[in-house]
Amino acid sequence: MRTIKNIAVLTSGGDSPGMNAGIRAVVRTGIYNDLNMFGVLRGYDGLVKGEIVPMDAKSVANIIQRGGTILKTARSEEFKTYEGRKQAYENIKTLGIDALVVIGGDGTFTGASKFIEEFDIPIIGMPGTIDNDLAGTDFTIGYDTAINTVVDAVDKIRDTAESHDRVFVIEVMGRDSGLIALRSGISTGAEAVLIPELTVDYDAIMKRLDKSRKNKSSRIIIVAEGDKEGGEVVADKIKENFPHYDVRLSILGHIQRGGRPSCMDRVLASRLGVASVEGLLEGRRGEMAGLICGQVQFTPFNKAIKHIDKINENLTRIVEILSL
């Protein structure tokens, strides 16, 4: 087995709350094991441009509670080319870096797989995305914080919706996955949740809205941004069906990515950070560290990036049952 002495960590793709806790765990686990640790700025872009800095225990002090990523993140077109990846390899070779930990989503792991294949670099991945759309882990780092941000915002909108007897259509993040919409919908008592994984039954939704009129003065419909029609169209359709309703649209946007990571995300990132470095030292590569049923497990990148459908039909049923 090859000896690893120098490890670099980077964050890539969209940022998510808890990435800092992950960076901290990777750096400190490395130092605990007498390794030299480095941070790559701006994801693969920094790898290609050689923006790589040494990191010590102090450089990750007081960051576990901070949202975003101190290493910054970016999308890199150059890293998608062989020439870009070759340049990245030259840069890490010059610094003597033996292995990488990459924190990101499916694109990040696809890039990592190619880098391993072409340049024989051990890489372990950590799932850092608010969408929770990776296989090989029950939850991704950032998802729990993001749904709590959504719940907080929807609760506030519910207050004003209730005061004015309004129907609010609220669009939340989730380009390919309705998990943010579904869980936040259940926990805010939404009357309906529209997600990309399921075809919308408009008739059923309209009936439900009409029926709930006798019990409720406000109505909340949560729409995932990846839903085939999106919040604006849904709001227009409700207005068409119920011209007397006061229908408003609210798109929550980027607040869902920011904020202090929840306790759950901090613990998840800490556990996976430790596991990633220990995994590399045990000779692992090309795998993502994840948590399944409370246990750390490693899943090959090619399996982790499959967008498995984590939609539990029981959850969609719950929305309907409880929306009376």
Q: Could you say whether residue 108 binds ligand ATP (CB under 6 A)?
A: yes
Binding-site member from 11, 30, 42, 79 for ligand ATP (CB under 6 A): 79
CA-closest candidate to residue 21, choices 58, 61, 72: 61
Least CB distance to ligand ATP at residue 77 (A): 7
**CB of residue 135 to ligand ATP, shortest distance in Å:** 13
C-alpha 18/C-alpha 264 separation (Å) is 9
Residue 89 binding ligand ATP, by CB under 6 A: no
Q: How far is the CB of 18 from ligand ATP (least distance, A)?
A: 13
Q: Would you count residue 110 as binding ligand ATP (CB under 6 A)?
A: yes
Lookup: tokens for 64: 């576990």
Q: Among residues 68, 105, 231, 273, which is the contact residue for ligand ATP, using CB under 6 A?
A: 105
Site residues (CB under 6 A) for ligand ATP, limited to 43-62: 44
Among 7, 9, 10, 13, binds ligand ATP (CB under 6 A): 13
Q: Should residue 129 be labelled a site residue for ligand ATP when binding is judged by CB under 6 A?
A: yes
The answer to whether residue 131 is catalytic is: yes
User: Residue 127: which residues within 8 A CB-CB, separation 6 or more?
Assistant: 105, 134, 136, 137, 140, 141, 272, 288, 290, 304
Report the interface residues with ligand ATP, using CB under 6 A.
12-14, 44, 75-76, 79-80, 104-108, 110-111, 114, 129, 131
Residues serving a catalytic function are: 131
